[in-house]
Amino acid sequence: RVEVAYIRGPPEARKDETMPVMLDMDIGCYYSQKGGQMLIGNLEPECDDLHFLDPPEEMNEALTDEWTNRVYRAALRIPSLQLPNSATGLSALYDATPDFTPIYDRTSLGGFYSMRGTSGNQFKNAAVVGRICAHLVEGCENGHDH
C-alpha cells in the first residue's frame, strides 16, 4: 500500500511548464509538477515501513501520516512549498511478487499476456521490457511453447 500526495506547487514555479520527475534519494521522495499541481511520492527509504496487504480487500483508502511525511520531506527541499491544511492525494496498491521480480508470461486465455509484479520500479526498463514482451508474444503466437 502506498500513498501519493497532491499539493499546490511552489509559488515561484511556472504553472505553464512541466517540471521533470525529480528523485531525491536523501529524503526518499520523488516529485513532479504539472499545471500548478505537485505530485509527491515515496521511494521506499529504509526509514519507512512497507505495508503489504493480504487480502488486498483490507486496503483502507484514507490518507495517513505517510502523506504528511511525504509533504514535509518535500518541503525540506523546497522551502517555499505552501503546506495545505487538508490532505489530497491517493492511496493504492502495487502489484508485486514476493521477491519483487516481475512476471512476463502468457496466460491460459489465448492471446492474453501478463506483464506484472513490477511494483512500479520498472519504469526505466520499459523499452527493454517492451522488446522482451514483443519477442514472447511473437514466439507464442507462432507456435513456440516456452
**Segment 18-43, tens digit of pLDDT:** 677 888 999 999 988 877 889 999 88
Neighbours of 70 (CB within 10 A): 28
pTM of the predicted protein model:
0.71
**Segment 60-115, tens digit of pLDDT:** 899 999 999 999 999 999 999 989 989 999 998 877 777 778 888 998 898 899 88
Contact 35, 15 (CB under 8 A): yes
SS3 105: strand
End-to-end CA distance of the chain: 33
What is the C-alpha to C-alpha distance for residues 28 and 138, in angstroms, rounded to an integer?
A: 39
